[in-house]
Structure formats: C-alpha cells, structure tokens
Structure 1
Amino acid sequence: MREVVILLGILASLWIFSLVEAEDRTVYFTWIVEYGDISPLFIKQRGILINGQFPGPTVDVITNDNVWVTVVNKLDEPLLFTWNGINQRKSSWQDGVLGTNCPIPPNSNWTYKMQMKDQIGTYNYFPSTLLHRAAGGFGGFNILARSIIPVPYLKPYDEFTVLIGDWWKKDQEELQQILDSGNPFPSPDGLLINGNPDSTSFTVVPGQTYLFRVSNVGMTTSINFRIQGHKLALVEVEGSHTLPEMYDSLDIHVGQSSSFLVTINGAIDPLTDYFIVASTRFMRPTLTATAILHLQGSKTAASRELPAAPIGQFHWSMKQARTIRWNTTANAARPNPQGSYHYGSINITRTVILANSRAEINGKLRYAVNKVSYVNPETPLKLADYYNMTGVFTNSSIDSLPAGPVVLGTPVLSVILHDFVEIVFQNNESYIQTWHLDGNSFWSVGFGSGQWNPALRSRFYNIYNAVSRSTVQVYPYSWSAIFVSFDNKGMWNLRSANWQRRYLGQELYVKVWNDEPSRSTENGIPDNVIYCGKAKRRN
C-alpha cells in the first residue's frame, strides 16, 4: 500500500510539473518606429530607429514563448515588419508582408502575436515595405532552447549578436526612385557591423568560449565572415544544429544567419586585441568592415594585417556550402532528435522548377520568376483567400517552365497541406541569387552548376544530413535544390532575398491548404486585423 501511495504521489508531481511546463510564458515588446539622424558612413542621413536605436533592439526569447510586439508607426508611410526565418506556426496572419497583411498606417499601431513554437536559432527582423530596409529598422531575433532541452555543445561564457550588411549613402526614397524609373540598383557604398564600418567592439575574457550569432542583414551582397587569429566552429544555421565543422571563414549570403563558437586566445603574453572582419563577396571593388575583439586586460591594439578573404570565388563557396551538415544526433527545440525525420526516404509529391530572369516591361527593368513579375494587389492575398474574393489572384497561377515574354502578375503556387515538394531554383544569370521561404524550413539538399535535370539527384543531393534552413543561395549559371514538407497551413511568401530584385517582382506566394477549416491546422483571423483594398468595407 505504501508503494502505491508513493507511486500516486510521483504521478501527481509529474502531472503538476506538466501543467507548469504547459503554461508557456508571454513576453511583450513595444517598438516606437520613427525617423532620426544616423551617420553610419560618417555622413548624416535619415534612418529608421526603433526606440531610438539603430540597428533596432535584439529580441531574445525562449522556445514556445508567446511574443507580442506592438509596433507604433511614427513614419509618414505605411509600414510592416517581417520575421526572417521564424516559422509563424499556423498563422501566416502575422507574417508581415503585403501578401498577408495590410500595412500599419502612419500614426497608428498594430500588435504582432506570435508563438516561437518548437523552434530555436538565430534570426533577424526588418521592415518589408518599400525600401524601408535601406534606412534601417532591422535587428537580431534569437530563440534560445528551453533549459530542459540540451544543446550539442558546452554552454558558452556569453554570446553576441552580430548584424552585417551593405549600406548606401543615398536616402531610401532616392534608391526607390532609381528602381521605379527602371534603372539598375547602384552598388553599396560600404559595409556595416552592428551599424558601424569600423568602431564596434566586443569585450571578451581570454580562454573563454563565446557564441557569435551572425546575420547578413544586407540587401544585395554576400559576405565572408572571419576573426583574426581564431577558428570558427559552426554550430547552428537558422534553427538547425550543425556538425561542428571548423572554418577559417564562412560565406554568409543575403538573409542568412549562422552561429559560431569561438574560443578566445589566452596564451599570448602580452595579450592583444583582434579584428573581426567582414568583406563583400563576388563584387568589385571589395568592401570591408571591421570590429574589435577586445580581450579583457589587453593593452595591445590588433594587428592591421587583416586575415585575407578566400581566394576562390563561386566554386570555392559552393564547395564550402556542401560541408554544412545537420547534426542528426542533437536535440532540436523538442525532445525528439533532429535526425528522427528521415527526409531522404519520403516520396516527393511534386517537383517545381523556378527560374529567375530579368526583362524590360514598358521600358523599365523588372525581375521575374518563371516569366511572371510579381505586382502587389491592393488587397492582401491572405484576406482575399479568407473571404473568397475574386479578381485578386488565381490558384496555381505559375507554370513550371513557361515560354514567352515576361508579364506582370500575381503568381501563387498552390500545394496541399503536408505535400512533400522538391523545389529547384534555376539561376541563368551571372548574379548570385538568394531565396527565402516564409513560414517553413526546408532541407537544402543540393547545389550544382549548369542546368538541373533529374539525373543530378544521385550525384549531388545529400539525402542524409542536409541542413534544414529557410534561406538558400543559388550561384550564377547554377541550381540549388530543396525539399519542403509543407506542414504549415497558410499563404507564405517565397521571395528573392536580394531586395532590389524582390522590389521589382522576383517573388511569389505559396498557398498551403486543405478543406478542413480547423484551428488545429490554422489559427483564425486575428481580432485586430487591419483591412484594406477590397476588404476595407469590413472595417
């Protein structure tokens, strides 16, 4: 009898513990978004500040946290923020792009309500409207693992968020006018690390190990990241733990994020500082930004002999990309091992080939996907779909490999919930491309040169431990292949992360659907939804 009582007591304790664990906390942020003076390249210009900060504040939350971000728009234009890589489980209503949300009008506010469901990792946020991103408004967004879920490396002494991006001296409206007039986008004037080209400093303790969360928050340019005198142990990319490969430097493409463990030198006497270096890739002239790795107790400045960028170009970078592999023995946000999902043995529902191109329409430069250059309708696609409005978009309105000239349109790729889709990004241009999918992670299974064909699967695909992420690069005159399990119902943006191309039409939407109107598969329309376009009369 005593054993039964003890057992019942243990079960009761576990039940109470499970109730406590089930109560996921809610964290609240209020962002005042306004214009202010900044001087990132040593000339005063207009920048977008969040709570007076440029870059914006770093968001640090924990797996399964409910996150409410109230955006107070004090700009003189409508505004949206998007959450780069955060999956928005069952709620594309919170995605923050014009296909899913009406923008927040000037002098008003709107609250994003999101849950960091079953997700860890290094991400970022930025304004998705017009060319606001060229004025700032971006920041880091980190999701830490819950304390009961082990990570596959020793706890670092501390961690740093590092935001690297290209920058222009021209105002965002001037840059927008260049694109609106049909002219090519200008090359950037500089490169920034946390908003500065050369004056950011990170203080560290010799001998300790730190986690550096690095995001490329630029608009056009791939970068190479390195730290003078130190190796980089890659341990995570966009929500997936990786095998801890050691690198002298790593290419990080537009929109991508990576996390590195760095053990600080401590045996050198006297102690010396080191440079953190970022430089642009695949462009001339090369732009470089530096920050200081300041060792506590050091009185010796870092050597000006900066570590060199890789000599190799696209071939070198593609070879390096193939070395980034999933750590299949590590736990993810949930207790199940990441590798328990054997993506390589799942039957592909369909294969979609998406080719980017450029063209002139009415004498102006446009970019396209499969010969369709995207134009935002006045009514968000998500609202039109929810209310069954006609004349906004057509399901399955993008062909796999169409013929004919580039046309303007609103392309939507329609897939059924839980379809397992192979997408091949075919790049027939000399410009490196980067693609991002909102609301879903995908396995980046293959890279190759030339034209893709099915026979290349057996030669170039990694069907065992390809990394799961949300942003993939496509090298010039090359292809990249991904596998996607579309298990997140909603209307999701698939776009070029190269912002000038996205602004001029290189994007589409993926409608993930089934006939079941259930909150178990998708959250209902938010009670604070903003109406516009054809839906405006519902206010």
Structure 2
Amino acid sequence: MMASFGYLSLFLLPFCLFLTFSSAADPFAFFDFEVSYITASPLGVPQQVIAINGEFPGPTVNVTTNNNVVINVRNKLDESMLMHWSGVQQRRSSWQDGVPGTNCPIPPKWNWTYQFQVKDQIGSFFYFPSLHFQRASGGFGGIIINNRDVIPIPFSTPDGDITILMGDWYTRNHTALRKSLDDGKDLGMPHGVLINGKGPYRYNDTLVPDGIDHETIEVHPGKTYRIRVHNVGISTSLNFRIQNHNLLLAETEGSYTVQQNYTSLDIHVGQSYSFLVTMDQNASTDYYIVASARFVNESLWKRVTGVAILHYSNSKGKAAGPLPEAPKDEFDKTFSMNQARSIRWNVSASGARPNPQGSFRYGSINVTDVYVLKNKPPVSINGKMRTTLSGISFVNPSTPIRLADQFKLKGVYKLDFPTRPLTGPPKAETSVINGTYRGFMEVILQNNDTKMQSYHMNGYAFFVVGMDYGEWSENSRGTYNKWDGIARSTIQVYPGAWTAILVSLDNVGIWNIRTENLDSWYLGQETYVRVVNPEATNKTELPMPDNALFCGQLGKLQKPQDISSATSITGDRLKMLFTLLMIISTVICALQ
C-alpha cells in the first residue's frame, strides 16, 4: 500500500509543483483549440485560411485575473505549429510561451496542452500561431483578462464588450508569401485590410468590388461599449476611427491609461487598445468603422482600407458618402509621434492588484544594463536576404534555448549579444542577451530603416519612456518621462527615429524580443533575453512540464503520441480529469 502511495506521489509531483506556484483556490478556465485549414473569401477570392474550431478569426479567450488557463491545441495543419499568447506575461513559465526559442513545435496531427496562470494581469491581448509565417493566413483571436470583482475598474461598467481584429491581408496564403521572402523578394502591397476576418463594406463602387462580405457590429443607442482593437496584420500600421464617435482611450496591453478622447488613433502591428465608445449619435444612418493604412503612399493605398459598419439597433438607413478622413500629416509625421507620446499611465488606478499602478515608481530605479538595438534595411548574408538587430540576424536553433539550458547542452547558442550595434559586416547567429535577474534594463530601439517597425517583448510589460526622431544619444535621457510613461508589451519605432523602454527583469526564463512586422521577424530581426536566477531554487520558475516536446539534439527523447488517447481526452473529459488530478494532488501534497 505504501509503495502504491509512493508511485502515485511521484506521478503527481508535477501537479504538486504547479500548486506551489498557483493558488488551488484560483479557478481553472479550459479551452479546446482545433487548428485547421478552411476555405474563405474575405476579399472575394477563395483562399486557404487558418481557423480555430472552424472559425476565422478564432474564438476569444475570456478569463479573469489569476485564472489557471488550460488550452488544449490540436494541430490539424500539414505543418508544425506553436500558439503564442502575445502580451500575456507567462510569469515564471517561459515553457508555455509558444515561440521556437522556448518550445519545440507541435507536429502535425498532434495534441499539446498549454497550461499557465494569468497571474496579476488584466487587459486586452491576442493569440496567434508563431511559426512558418502562419499568422499571415489567420489562426489569431482575442484575449480578455478581466479584473477580479474585488478590484474596481477605473470607469463605469460598460454595457458591452466588443473585440475588433484588424490587419493587412494578402490573397496569397502564408506558404506563398513565405516562399517570396525565401527567394529574396519583397511582399509588395497588401490586397486589403480585414476587420474581424471580413473585407470592406462597399462604400465606393470603384474601389470595392461587389460581393464582399463585411463586418457589422450592432449596438444600442445611449449605451457605452468597451471596444478592444488589435492590429494582427503583417506589416502595416493602421489608423482606427469610427465615424462621428469619440474614442475614449482606457487601456492598452494590460495597463489602464489616462482617459483621453481621440477622433482616431494609429495602431501599429501587434498593438492592442481598448476604448470606451458611447453611442450618442442619431440613428438616421449606420456609421463607418475604418482601418486605413499609415506611413505609405496614401494615393496608391486607397483600395487597401478596412471598412466595417456600426449599426444602431434603431438605425433608419445604410452608411453612405465618403469615409471619415485620416490625419492629414503626409508630410509631417510628428503628429503621430505626439499622439503616441500623449498616451500615459493612469498612476492612480489599480491594475490587477489593489494598489495604484504608479506605486512601482520606475523612474527612481537605477539602470543596470543598457542595450542599443539598431534596425537597418534588409541585407544579404551568405547569399540570403536577411534582417538584423544591431548587425545580427537571429538563427533559431533546432533545439530551443530553454530546453538546451535544461539539459545543459553546449553550443546551441551564444550568450554574447552586443550592448551596442556591431561595426563590422552583419552576421547570422544564435546570439542571446544575457539579462541580469532583478536587473533594470534600458533598451533603445533605433530604427534606421525607411519603414515603420513595432517591437514586442515576451514575458514582460516595459515602460515607454521616450521617443524622438534622429539618432539616440546619452543626452536623449534628458527627455525621458520618468513618472507616467505607459507600461505595455509592444511599441512602435518610427522610421529614422528611436524609442526608449525600461524593463524590470524579474521574470525568470528565455524571453523573445522581436519586431512584430511579420516579414522582418521571419527574416531574423529578433533575439532572446535569458534571465536566470543564480540561486539554486525552483521558486522563481515553474519546472519543465511533463508534456514537454523534444526536438533537435533531444529529439530521441520524444515518444510517439498515442493519437487515440490524445483525441479522446478533450473538452469536458479533460476538465474532469484535470480537476480530479488537482483534488488528489492537493491531498497528497498536503501529506508530504
């Protein structure tokens, strides 16, 4: 009997460890994702898109602060994949991050279950497939992390919650686009902009062909809605606006903002915002919702505009006439930068915890590490077109970095990413930033390309403290905002300009820092920050999950998946099994 108990204790050890890092009282939220191809015609041309549970875009993951999230992903694609939870801070668990530096890919026809806790987080985020340029074919959806009931939101409870996923779109699928990049070709101009997976409303008979399905969002007069807007596109910054309606900015990527009204806002690739919009107009007609390209030749890109319809429940007619105008700043880009600078942290509002967001006082912390990450136009390295950060084009290793550390493999990567850009010829390497655990890192993102870029860091929210045109210098620190710069996970860097961020390296793991522009990311404009606790303890990072996949040098450790059992333990059965294991493990952990 004692032997049986011992074997059971050993089997449930991973659950005991998980309970150590998360509260058993915190609820679990279960989701099933079946990732597959479907045929859709968002711009009137039939094409292959990636759907989640048959939906394009995928379903919204709606959870609450501190929920333990369990998402079972079944890969029905014909190639490997990973699902990435963009902006969701995988606290102490880069094992669940869903990027190639930390996780082996999920093979075709396999199941893999992600399990993480949205610890001390609120806000608006999205998920997407991170491998093989797949995001260009879909597979994305919204993520909502609600406040706990005991933590008030800094505004009246909205009458509804609306998710908008917008982005540039090609009628070629991701494999064709990927081949173009592999062949050293530019992707060219997108064919359109989608809003929630649908093409533009036919506001103009010449620019928009007949027969395209458009998105309609129904609202009720006098009500106020929280509208969460995500740019899930490939490389195009978009200006978002709703005809005749003010956008009261309330939150961005997990931080409540100082509430300000905008008639329109530039939303760059990978960014998420939530607005409070009151339906205070008359219902004589419907209203346009517009997402139009920015920082491009507007005259050429007029047909690349996303248009949806805001429909009042008592509307008396269809929207008609010209679209509301975008900012007229074609020859003066300081308008957009000043708009970005106006977005401030609400330092008096509580976030996920019952204390003001501004109590962190980031401006009084001493900086321990400084990295200048410089982006330049694509270059040829070893006969291939590549993009770089600081002169290095990142090469993803066949064995993920986090897995190599776990098994103490040598030669998988180099911990030598330079603090300043290389002065010699560019090179392709697996070069990683050596982060200082509990250090405070200053990162200057310098964009010396002619295209807008936006940058994202996994596992963290960083403080945006400054941006300006020209080359960053030590004197630029005199312009930093050290009090209420917004905390977020994705920030734009204007062409010929710089953006400075500060990040507290308190989250142990291997964390990706990259451009969100999908073409530049695919060609190597990224690196990882390795954050290791020098103390021998497992209290700052969850252990390797028992369902970890193996690849590269460790591929021989991977056992074949029993497809029959993997496909049968899904949905309600998975919930029941997981709940039962948690109950048993709670009892056993208490006895040990």
With the shorter chain as reference, the TM-score category is over 0.9
> In structure 2, what is the Cα distance between the partners aligned to 1:244 and 1:397?
39
Counterpart of 1:420, as a letter, is F
Instruction: Tell me if structure 1 keeps the 8 A contact 2:84–2:97.
Output: yes
1:326 paired to 2:381: no
113-122 or 529-538: bigger deviation:
529-538
Matches of residues 118-517 of structure 1 in structure 2 within 5 Å?
118-198=120-200, 199-266=214-281, 268=282, 271-284=284-297, 285-286=300-301, 287-313=304-330, 314-357=333-376, 358-458=378-478, 460-517=479-536
Deviation (angstroms), 1:411 = 1.5
Deviation (angstroms), 1:48 = 0.8
Instruction: Tell me if structure 2 keeps the 8 A contact 1:80–1:128.
Output: yes
Counterpart of 1:249, as a letter, is S
TM-score of the superposition, structure 2-length normalised?
0.86
> In structure 2, what is the Cα distance between the partners aligned to 1:439 and 1:185?
30
- Aligned partner of 1:14 in structure 2 is none
Instruction: Tell me if structure 2 keeps the 8 A contact 1:232–1:247.
Output: yes
- Aligned partner of 1:10 in structure 2 is none
146-155 or 357-366: bigger deviation:
357-366
> In structure 2, what is the Cα distance between the partners aligned to 1:520 and 1:362?
44
Counterpart of 2:368, as a letter, is T
Deviation (angstroms), 1:342 = 0.5
270-279 or 240-249: bigger deviation:
270-279
> In structure 2, what is the Cα distance between the partners aligned to 1:501 and 1:329?
38
Superimposed CA distance per residue, residues 94-153 of structure 1 (whole angstroms, 9 cap, x where no aligned partner)? 000011000000111100001110000000000000111111101101111111110110
> In structure 2, what is the Cα distance between the partners aligned to 1:181 and 1:538?
35
DSSP-derived class of the 2:477 partner:
helix
DSSP-derived class of the 2:358 partner:
helix
97-106 or 357-366: bigger deviation:
357-366
Matches of residues 4-83 of structure 1 in structure 2 within 5 Å?
23-83=25-85
DSSP-derived class of the 2:476 partner:
helix
Identity of aligned residues (%): 49
> In structure 2, what is the Cα distance between the partners aligned to 1:431 and 1:307?
25
DSSP-derived class of the 1:242 partner:
strand
1:537 paired to 2:556: yes
> In structure 1, what is the Cα distance between the partners aligned to 2:83 and 2:34?
13
Counterpart of 1:300, as a letter, is G
Counterpart of 2:237, as a letter, is S
> 1:520 is matched with which residue: 539, 549, 557?
539
DSSP-derived class of the 1:245 partner:
strand
Superimposed CA distance per residue, residues 438-467 of structure 1 (whole angstroms, 9 cap, x where no aligned partner)? 001100110011000111111x21111000
- Aligned partner of 2:119 in structure 1 is 117
Deviation (angstroms), 1:85 = 0.2
- Identify unmatched segments of 5+ residues in structure 2: 1-22, 201-213, 559-592
Counterpart of 1:508, as a letter, is T
Shift >4 Å, 4+ stretches:
none
DSSP-derived class of the 1:244 partner:
strand
Q: Which has the higher strand share?
A: 1
DSSP-derived class of the 2:228 partner:
strand
Instruction: Tell me if structure 2 keeps the 8 A contact 1:184–1:365.
Output: no
Superimposed CA distance per residue, residues 287-327 of structure 1 (whole angstroms, 9 cap, x where no aligned partner)? 21111111111122223221100111421110100000000
- Aligned partner of 2:562 in structure 1 is none
> In structure 2, what is the Cα distance between the partners aligned to 1:424 and 1:399?
10
1:103 paired to 2:105: yes
Deviation (angstroms), 1:396 = 2.8
> In structure 2, what is the Cα distance between the partners aligned to 1:97 and 1:330?
33
Instruction: Tell me if structure 1 keeps the 8 A contact 2:82–2:105.
Output: yes
Counterpart of 1:172, as a letter, is H
Instruction: Tell me if structure 1 keeps the 8 A contact 2:171–2:191.
Output: yes
Counterpart of 1:507, as a letter, is E
> In structure 2, what is the Cα distance between the partners aligned to 1:524 and 1:22?
17
> In structure 2, what is the Cα distance between the partners aligned to 1:277 and 1:183?
30
Deviation (angstroms), 1:399 = 4.3
DSSP-derived class of the 1:484 partner:
strand
> In structure 2, what is the Cα distance between the partners aligned to 1:375 and 1:350?
24
Instruction: Tell me if structure 1 keeps the 8 A contact 2:371–2:418.
Output: no
DSSP-derived class of the 1:369 partner:
coil
Instruction: Tell me if structure 1 keeps the 8 A contact 2:251–2:273.
Output: yes
Instruction: Tell me if structure 1 keeps the 8 A contact 2:514–2:521.
Output: yes
Instruction: Tell me if structure 1 keeps the 8 A contact 2:370–2:419.
Output: no
Instruction: Tell me if structure 2 keeps the 8 A contact 1:134–1:219.
Output: yes
> In structure 2, what is the Cα distance between the partners aligned to 1:23 and 1:51?
30
Aligned-residue RMSD, C-alpha: 1.3
> In structure 2, what is the Cα distance between the partners aligned to 1:394 and 1:374?
11
> In structure 1, what is the Cα distance between the partners aligned to 2:441 and 2:133?
32
Deviation (angstroms), 1:519 = 2.7
> In structure 2, what is the Cα distance between the partners aligned to 1:57 and 1:297?
28
- Aligned partner of 1:18 in structure 2 is none
